[in-house]
Amino acid sequence: MNQETERAPSQEQSAEELREILQIRRNKLSQLQAEGRDPFREVRYDRTHHTRDITEHFDEMENQTVSLAGRIMSKRDMGKASFCDLQDQDGRIQLYVKVDELGAEEYERFKHFDIGDIVGVRGYVFRTRRGEISVHVNEITLLSKSLRPLPEKYHGLKDVDTRYRQRYVDLIVNPEVRDTFVKRSLAIREIRAFMDARGYIEVETPVLNTVQGGATARPFVTHHNALNLDMYLRIATELHLKRLIVGGFEKVYEIGRIFRNEGMDTRHNPEFTTIELYEAYTDINGMMELTESLFRHLAVTVTGGTELPYGDKVIDLGKPFERLTMTEALRKYADIDFDQVETFEQAKALAEKHHIKVEPKHGKGDILSLLFEEYCEDKLIQPTFIISHPIEISPLAKKDPQNPALTQRFELFMNGWEMANAFGELNDPIDQRERFENQMRLRALGDDEASEMDEDFLTALEYGMPPTGGCGIGVDRLVMILTNSPSIRDVLLFPTMKPQD
């Protein structure tokens, strides 16, 4: 067999060098197959331990015989002995492979193994003279041949676009990436544990819908051939979950994928994960308590504390979250007193003064929201509940009894991002129909993010829905904060990418 050089191709190496390496590896596979040693015929390997079992419990395991399996990440040939690093899902451990243990023929075969090959090993645990915990190998089996070299050790997989496209390679060569997704899994598990402990029931609702609703967003449209019907991928789970409250469930939640046909940036991906939860006989105050408690619980269980470093900031989830109305935030951060604005004309003049573009679909409340977005959102670094949203931007929230131009709603902001959105849910079917009708007027004006009329949901409300609090939380952004990840793509295993030419 031809022996591939130890150094895998870096960005500086030519395509011709890569082709040569690929051919050498295929030649090795062909030789193995000709010898009746095809590694792809292996169907099972019985392991007794993972690498972490040994590294964390060495004192109890010294001299114990173990079986491990994983990927060769480095090789160092010392003549009649070799060292290599084996990596499994838990970490790495050094292997010591000696010709006297394997025999000359098997040792020669081992020397032709490549970095990236997957092997099973059997041997005993020991510590080298240099103090490194290792496995002295007396049996090694090639379980899968790697036909493509891993990125070169010192250059690594640095190109961000390639890392997202080839997440499988990213996970192999960048252990911290695997840690991020372990924490994501833990966070979702802890969300479920928290909700279940509070008596909530996890449910599943349709991904394909015939009506666009539950949020203000542009949907993906698909076509069902058997029904000859255009359908939407859901932009929210809200309206189906509220139907369940009508049906008699008092506490429900769903963790699921949402799809919005909108822009992409460090905080937005066309498909993302949310948890939406609804509880009968409570209001936004109950939702604020639950949301604050959930975020604090996740900080402790996932990271071990309530102070979360994010970039050059530290976000403190241990202190009570601040509460501000939208107009209080505007006064605090922009010195704008919107409470003195009485008419749409005054609001429009204020917007023009502050270079805010007003469109025909906008009302007074929309202008308040636009000013808040421009001057306040990026200032809300520490956890802050923003309450009392205008009715124009809250078509599914109850009116504020003290001011019907506002609603019983909050958004939780952190690091300048919206992290949660909650309502005292609108349960008046007459009022809800009027809100839907207004949304339809906005659609007629060209707003394709406005909700459609959902007659079945209105029918459900007519049967009676109790006073209800509801909240939606973006799981991906939450995991970004918990893992100090700068982009949503860093917490999605397979983010949406434009196909390469």
pLDDT in tens, 460-498: 999 999 999 999 999 999 999 999 999 999 999 999 999
Q: How confident is the model at residue 10 (pLDDT cuts 50, 70, 90)?
A: low
- Tell me the C-alpha to C-alpha distance, in Å, between residue 253 and each of 14, 54, 172, 226, 477: 53, 40, 35, 31, 18
Write the CB contacts of 133 (distance below 8 Å, at least 6 apart in sequence).
54, 55, 58, 93, 94, 125, 127
Q: Say what the pLDDT of residue 451 is.
A: 83
Q: Is the pLDDT of residue 370 over 70?
A: yes
- Tell me the C-alpha to C-alpha distance, in Å, between residue 24 and each of 16, 20, 36, 146, 365: 12, 6, 19, 11, 67
The model's pLDDT over 197-210, given as tens digits with 9 standing for 90+, comes to 999 999 999 999 99
Q: Is the pLDDT of residue 3 over 50?
A: no
As a whole number, mean pLDDT of residues 312-331 equals: 97
Q: Is the pLDDT of residue 12 over 60?
A: no
Q: Say what the pLDDT of residue 101 is.
A: 92
Annotated binding-site positions: 411, 418
User: Is residue 444 within 8 Å of 358, Cβ to Cβ?
Assistant: no
As a whole number, mean pLDDT of residues 19-33 equals: 96
Q: Is the pLDDT of residue 423 over 80?
A: yes
State how beta strands 271-280 and 468-474 pair: antiparallel
Q: Say what the pLDDT of residue 442 is.
A: 86
As a whole number, mean pLDDT of residues 405-434 equals: 96
The model's pLDDT over 424-463, given as tens digits with 9 standing for 90+, comes to 999 999 999 999 998 898 888 888 788 889 999 999 999 9
- Tell me the C-alpha to C-alpha distance, in Å, between residue 308 and each of 135, 305, 384, 479: 38, 7, 15, 11
Q: Say what the pLDDT of residue 371 is.
A: 97
What 355-363 contacts at long range (C-beta under 8 Å, 24+ apart), as own/partner pairs, is 360/445, 361/442, 361/445, 361/446, 361/447, 362/392, 363/390, 363/392
Q: Could you give the percent of the chain with pLDDT greater than 70? A: 96
State how beta strands 403-407 and 399-400 pair: antiparallel
Maximum distance among all Cα pairs of the chain, rounded to whole angstroms: 91
Write the CB contacts of 418 (distance below 8 Å, at least 6 apart in sequence).
377, 411, 412, 474
Annotated binding-site positions for Mg(2+): 411, 418
460 phi, psi to nearest 5 deg: -60, -45
- How many whole angstroms separate alpha carbon 494 and alpha carbon 373? 30
- How many whole angstroms separate alpha carbon 227 and alpha carbon 130? 70
As a whole number, mean pLDDT of residues 360-372 equals: 94
Q: How confident is the model at residue 157 (pLDDT cuts 50, 70, 90)?
A: low
Q: Is the pLDDT of residue 501 over 70?
A: yes
- How many whole angstroms separate alpha carbon 118 and alpha carbon 156? 19
As a whole number, mean pLDDT of residues 215-222 equals: 91
Whose CA is closest to 3, among 140, 109, 151, 146? 109
Which range among 113-117, 274-278, 406-410, 447-451 shows the weakest confidence by mean pLDDT? 447-451
State how beta strands 208-209 and 251-259 pair: unpaired
Tokens matching residue 460: 């459900």
User: Is residue 190 within 8 Å of 48, Cβ to Cβ?
Assistant: no
Q: Estimate the crossing angle of helix 364-375 against helix 326-334, to 10 degrees.
A: 50
Whose CA is closest to 409, among 428, 394, 431? 394
User: Is residue 180 within 8 Å of 485, Cβ to Cβ?
Assistant: yes
Q: Is 5 left (phi over 0), alpha (psi -120 to 50) or beta?
A: beta
- Is residue 221 exposed (0-12), middle (13-18) or buried (19+ Cβ within 10 Å)? exposed
Which range among 51-65, 147-161, 222-236, 273-287 shows the weakest confidence by mean pLDDT? 147-161
Q: Say what the pLDDT of residue 161 is.
A: 86
Q: Say what the pLDDT of residue 30 is.
A: 97
Q: How confident is the model at residue 405 (pLDDT cuts 50, 70, 90)?
A: very high
Q: Is the pLDDT of residue 170 over 70?
A: yes
Q: Is the pLDDT of residue 1 over 60?
A: no
User: What mean pLDDT value characterizes the chain?
Assistant: 93
Q: In what side-by-side order are the strands of the sheet with 251-259?
A: 201-202, 251-259, 271-280, 468-474, 417-424, 409-414, 384-387, 322-325
Length of the chain in terms of residues written:
501
pTM for the whole structure = 0.91
